Amino acid sequence: MYRHLLLGSLITTLAGCASMSAETKSATSHLQAAERSGHVAIETVASAEAPLVFITEARIMTAAGEIHEQGYIAMANGRIEAVGAGAPPSTDGAHVIAAPGMVVTPGLIDTHSHLGVYPAPSAKAHSDGNEMTTPITAGVWAEHAFWPQDPGIQRALMGGVTTLMALPGSGNLIGGRGVTLHTVPRRGSRAMRYPGAPDGVKMACGENPKRVYGTRNSSPQTRMGNLYVQRSAFIDAVEYKKKLDKAEAPKRDLKLETLVGLMEGELLGHVHCYRADDMINMLQLADEFGFKIRSFHHAVEAYKIRDILAERDVSVSTWADWWGFKMEAYDAIQENAALLSEAGGMPIIHSDSARGIRRLNQEAAKAMAHGRRAGIEISENEALRWITYNAAWALGIEGDVGTLEPGKRADIVVWDGSPFSVYSSARWVFIDGALRHDSKGESVPWSDFEVGQEVQP
């Protein structure tokens, strides 16, 4: 599993090298301590002691290949204990939930959300997703703007979403760090962090940054300006890294620390990009400065370079059918995800929407249907992975979540019908084995903004 400490992980890796000098260890240890101090949580969360629970008589869609038409799943102390077909061998001492006609899946994961940084109720005072004061703001963290009382978080959970990445917006070329969160009620965002998940680095190409800064008559105004400014930032980061490697202990620079973390693989690159040529340019930028792009977001023209993306292990976080709302979205097709899957790539259905996040299952169903109509064979297991395992991989947590397998976290959704049906909804949602949503139970608002008001799912 990836670790979320930028230089902490980098230092741990370097410290294992026999060639590292004592001076280098000393210098990097100083930065390690500084980075750690930026992750200290003031709100402590006790581990919940979850009893042994069996869900039986349900269709178990593991997202790992197997689908048990009549099966069971057991969870205890936050982890999946067993998954199988038929009746469990023993349920002694367990709480048993009989779920005939229901379907169990992994919790859904949204790789691209602005919940919390653009929360409801929508107001200028709540607009905290874009620090559009300079095109390179790699040092800002979405975590620092995320508002845990956004009513959309609970509504996302009600739609089966157990994990999301909250990202800065796309107004800047390098917008800052994204944070992976569990959809659980907490008072501060840091207590919602998915344990051990690495931060993402949000970058953007194409129309958005050149529109934002071009209208101010400042750089960048063009796509070539975009690449110029991004390359310049990484050149600075290379020089900063050289000083770290020489144990010079330069003055801390939060922007450059983030970029060094990306180049060292401790942070994951997530790039807002629509056009195929823009994606190729960003891949070339990544090669030039030695970092990896984990996922292209939106990427409506990914189908045009699906062979390249599959070969380079770059995932694509996209929509089922958003199209035409600006020029770079004009050549989108509804078969995008299916074509990527057919090519051996890793498609993901994301939301980028406070409403769409509540129906990720239906969005995946649409993308699957469009592919099948085009003659592309897409199994239900594959379509489910678009919103579970593939998304977990993009966030660096696939070893811990995203499929129903023993030992993984018990982030589980029980649907009252097929998850690919518009008539189905999440009956129960568990996170770390703890029940977080019961569609027929008492609904208690998480947000003060909804207390005393009518609450609708």
- Report residue 119: phi and psi, to 5°: -80, 170
- Cα(147)–Cα(306) distance, integer angstroms: 37
- At a CB cut-off of 8 Å and minimum separation 6, what does 218 contact? none
pLDDT band (50, 70, 90) for residue 2: very low
Model confidence pLDDT, tens digit, residues 403-428: 999 999 999 999 999 999 999 999 99
pLDDT at 456: 55
CATH architecture, range 107-403: Alpha-Beta Barrel (3.20)
| Buried b / exposed e along 141-176 (16+ C-beta atoms within 10 A) | bbbebbbbbbbbbbbbbbbbbbbbbbbbbbbbbbbb
Domain ranges (residues) in the chain = 107-403
Distance of CA 68 to the CA centre of its chain: 27
Model confidence pLDDT, tens digit, residues 139-171: 999 999 999 999 999 999 999 999 999 999 999
Weakest mean pLDDT among 28-32, 375-379, 436-440: 28-32
C-alpha distances in Å from residue 367, one per residue of 165, 334, 443: 21, 7, 32
pTM comes to: 0.92
Share of the chain above pLDDT 90, in %: 83
C-alpha distances in Å from residue 418, one per residue of 373, 377, 415: 20, 19, 7
For the cut 70, the answer to whether the pLDDT of residue 57 exceeds it is yes
pLDDT band (50, 70, 90) for residue 244: confident
pLDDT band (50, 70, 90) for residue 8: very low
Q: What is the mean pLDDT of residues 396-406?
A: 98
For the cut 80, the answer to whether the pLDDT of residue 35 exceeds it is no
What would the DSSP string read from start to end of 383-424? Answer: HHHTTTHHHHHHTT-TTTSSS--TTSB--EEEESS-TT-TT-
Closest by CA position to 35, among listed 52, 10, 16: 10
Model confidence pLDDT, tens digit, residues 318-377: 999 999 999 999 999 999 999 999 999 999 999 999 999 999 999 999 999 999 999 999
Question: Please, what is the average pLDDT of the chain?
Answer: 91
For the cut 90, the answer to whether the pLDDT of residue 240 exceeds it is yes
What would the DSSP string read from start to end of 129-183? Answer: S--TTSSB-TT-BGGGT--TT-HHHHHHHHTTEEEEEE---SSSSEEEEEEEEE-
Distance of CA 244 to the CA centre of its chain: 30
pLDDT at 31: 53
pLDDT band (50, 70, 90) for residue 23: very low
